[in-house]
Amino acid sequence: MAYLINKTILFYSLLLFISCSKSEESTVVAPPVERKVNLQHFNNLYKEMDFKGKKAAMVCIYSEFPGYLPLEDPDEGISCVDDVARAVIMLTEYVQVYGNEASSLDKIKKLTEFVLSMQNDNGYFNNFIFWDKTINTWHQNSVAQLNWWSLRALWGLETAYPLLKNDADIKLRMEQSISKLKINIKRDLPINSLNKETINNIETPTWLPQKYAADQAAILILGLLKNYERTSDSDDLLMIDALAKGIIILQKGDADHYPYNAFLSYKNQWHAYGNDQANALLKAGKVLNKKEYINSALKEVDNFYPKLLQNGFAESFFIEAVGSNFSEISRTKFPQIAYGIRPIVSASAEAYSYSKNNNHLTIAKNFAAWLSGSNEAGTAIYNHDSGICFDGIVSATQINKNSGAESTIESLLILLEMEKLKQ
């Protein structure tokens, strides 16, 4: 009898174990991925549209506190290629971090359609568009020419290409658009005559976009580099090398002398916004095995960036050469914006991915902390709950609480850079 009781208890115990095991298996849910990158406000600025017979989308340039409704500028418009192309780049980074979500891929495709539809018959891109879908062809920052928006269009299209290439229709139109744009760039970029000028006693290259624009040269390198990885076009290598040489000429000072290996942006000026030279040189140096690019970029990261942290961030400054040294003519401290911080974070993160030097990681973290309140105003600029990033710090006591496309996207790019470092 005892044997039968023990056997019965064992049988029911086994049934209970199996039942609990199945129950646990059926109810266990994988923990949600914690996303520090909140697209909520970006999605508010993102607007889908029918444009030139395609399902497209734009990102509204301006959004004002406190309601944060999209606002059209009467002179510029409601959206622009510069912001839409950078949104494509951001969402591609988002997909890299969080996976190929259908909604993100759909946004990338529709934003790419917008960029393609803004290409002028001359091969360059107009920048601005109005709510009624009229393309602004007359504003000085919207003329179809070799300028920021056309160069960022190249970068954006090439960034989106790997994600969209399985769609035969848009793949072909992207290839045609990029080819048309590159014909213009090769024609208009004067790299056959590497002449220099002296500005405020500073040696300055004259073969960059807008003749002197090292900042735009960096954007162009980032686009051409992706084109080269896709097509192996030798012309890309020639242009990248010429642009890199010009950028390196505009690196001034050294580890101990002002401006501490900073890359000037334009002529004798350094400005924070869009100063992607170190980032571009590091990426190109790694892909093309060009140690001179990498070494030059690391000098800015190692020497100039820490000085900005120690001495206080700047919006811009102008310098002149005095003998073999350089001195500052003038400096502007404000406004400070996410678009001025992101290039530094990108370059520092890129430096860390190359060197695995914890100093580079620390620099990236310290500058990224600008978003969370480690800044001149001691105020959080990015709100994780809403995804709103303020348009900048106007002074040590004043914040611009508007939140337009540029600030929103650039802040998200900063956060994505930091998320990639954790992978």
Predicted TM-score of the model (pTM): 0.92
CA-CA distances (angstroms) from residue 307 to 12, 256, 273? Answer: 72, 11, 17
pLDDT in tens, 109-129: 999 999 999 999 999 999 999
Q: Confirm if 323 and 390 have CB atoms less than 8 A apart.
A: no
Residue 70 β-bridge partners: 63
How does DSSP assign 188-203, residue by residue?
A: HS-TTS--EEEETTEE
Sequence spans of domains, the chain: 35-188
138 pLDDT band (50/70/90 cuts)? very high
Is pLDDT at 18 greater than 50 in this prediction? Answer: no
- 107, containing H or E segment: helix 102-117
Is pLDDT at 13 greater than 90 in this prediction? Answer: no
pLDDT at 44: 98
pLDDT in tens, 344-356: 999 999 999 999 9
* Residue percentage of the chain with pLDDT more than 90: 90
Is pLDDT at 230 greater than 50 in this prediction? Answer: yes
pLDDT in tens, 155-204: 999 999 999 999 999 999 999 999 999 999 999 999 998 999 999 999 99
Residue 221 amino acid letter: I
